[in-house]
Structure formats: structure tokens, C-alpha cells
Amino acid sequence: MPIRKLLLPLPGIRDGEAALTTALMVAQAWNAHLLALHVRIDSRDVAPLAGEGLSGAMIEEMMAATETESGARAEAVRAMFQRFAASHDIRLGEPAPGEHVATASFAVVTGREEDLVAQQARLADLTVVPHPETGEDVSSSDALHAVLFDSGRPVLVAPRAPPAQIGKRICLAWNGTAQSASAVQAVLPWLKRAEAVRILSAEGYQRRGPAAAELAEYLALHDVQAESATFRPVDREVGAGLLRAAQDFGADLLAMGAYSHSRLRQLILGGVTRHVLEHAALPVMMNR
């Protein structure tokens, strides 16, 4: 199924520019519609956080300050979106029925980001999210985990620096799990258009399930010719080995399943998903 609609949660300017550039590239490549969504904080949510000992007047003052600040942030993000859309020659507004051209629109909603993003992502073919900042705990990326765990749809983690291209040379991280199978299904439209595809597997990465050779046979039925390669951990990190293998292939997109172990275990002990989220320098499409 071709990509027709993209969702891009835009929480702010600092972490949104690279993701916006990546999302606009994808929209142009697929003649898709991009919905950039900014979620404003509901000032009423500030009141329960104020605690005891504050007068009603002080709480109202805090709510007013929150409303003013969130409004200013929303306008700054809107201005950034309009500037970037113009620089990429993307038509603003939604496409007409049956029209397949690259378009983009911007919306502001108020509420809890993780709830609203997950809900909107359920009717998007792909959600693009900013890469976690250097040194930032990936568990703090509400939009990313909302899409992964509560939308049933794929997510594309944009790199910190916008890529020169995306989807020409694709790596598939395969370990035989249901999560990696979902990743294959999501990236299949890209694979059909790619110039080269490589399946990456490793002994320490494989779980109970089909092997990489079986995946290659399955892809051939979809007219996708994929080569297979094994990789080794780097400094005992499977995730580092995976990223090194993708880099050696010159990949501009990595597709993989996310959190085949529990998210809690990976956040505490580390894991392939966490390492890739923190260190990937290329776009990564994840499914769970």
C-alpha cells in the first residue's frame, strides 16, 4: 500500500527542524499529505501540579502564564512549519479527492501529547518523530512510544541531521519475531522502490522464528530481491553492530521491530531498540 498520509508531531523548534525536513522529503517522494501536529499544554492540567498551600489567585496566575507560553510556542512552531514548507515547494492545504500530490497542513490541538498523537497516528500511514536529543533518556519521548505502543502503525525516527536521501538503500533488521515481521510489512512499499536491499541478522539477535533466508524467499514472492548478511556485536553491543552493518551498506533507511523484549527491561538493562534510538544517524522505521 503506498503512503498517502504522514503525521508529524512537532513539540517545539529545537527538536523539530530535522524531523520536519525528513517528513517533507518523504511527502514529496510519495506525493503524500503531511499533517504537522502541535499539541498545546492544557493550562487546566497545571492546577493539580500546584500542590497545597497556593491560593486560588496564584493557581490562576500559573494557568494564565502557561496559556501565554504555550500560545507563543505554538505560533513559533507554526511559523517554522510554514517556512520549511515554502522552502521545499510543498503546497499547503489538503489534496482534493483522488489527487496525489505532495501537500502539507498544520494543526494545533490541546491536551495530553501522548494520547492525541497515538489517536491521530492510527489513521496515518507513517508517523515521523524527532530523534531523541543527545544525552536524553529515550523513555522521555512520549510521542515515539505512544505511536509504537498505542497506534498499531509504524513510526519513522528522523535522524538529528536531515538525510540527503531516504529509501534508496534499505537495511532490514531481522530476528524472526512478530515485531520484525510487522516492520517488514510496513517497509514493503519502500522495498519495491529501493535500489538495493540487505537483510541483517546475527546469532545474538535472532529469536525463535523464521531465519533470514526464509525472509529473503518471502520478499522474492513480492518481487523484492534482497541479499543477506550477518553482523557481529561491537563492544558487546548488538545494537552497535547493527548500526555498523547498516553504515557499511551505505543504508539511508533501517527498518526493524521495536522492543521484542519488554520496554521496561530494555530501559533498565539496555537493548537493541534503545541503542538504535539513542545512536542511529540514519532514518529508522520501527514497528511493534
19-65 pLDDT per residue, tens: 999 999 999 999 999 999 999 887 666 655 555 566 667 667 776 77
Residue position matching grid coordinates 525536513: 21
DSSP code, position 156: E
- C-alpha span between 96 and 94 (Å, rounded): 7
Q: What pLDDT, on the 0 to 100 scale, is given for residue 71?
A: 83
Q: What pLDDT, on the 0 to 100 scale, is given for residue 200?
A: 96
Give φ, ψ of 160 to 5 degrees: -65, -35
Q: What pLDDT, on the 0 to 100 scale, is given for residue 268?
A: 40
Q: What pLDDT, on the 0 to 100 scale, is given for residue 146?
A: 85
- C-alpha span between 74 and 68 (Å, rounded): 10
Over residues 115-129, the pLDDT tens digits come to 999 999 999 999 999
Q: Which residues of the chain have pLDDT under 50?
A: 139-140, 264-266, 268-270
Task: List every span in the chain annotated with CATH 3.40.50.620.
Answer: 5-59+68-157, 169-287
Q: What pLDDT, on the 0 to 100 scale, is given for residue 82?
A: 93
Superfamily the domain 169-287 falls into: HUPs (3.40.50.620)
- C-alpha span between 283 and 124 (Å, rounded): 18
**Cβ proximity of 228 and 194 under 8 Å:** no
- Look at phi and psi of residue 270 and say left if phi exceeds 0, alpha if psi is from -120 to 50, else beta: left
Q: Global pTM?
A: 0.88
- Fold (topology level) of 5-59+68-157: Rossmann fold (3.40.50)
Following DSSP, what letter does each residue of 86-130 receive, concatenated?
HHTTPEESPPPTT----EEEEEEEES-HHHHHHHHHTT-SEEEEP
34: which strand partners?
Answer: 6, 104
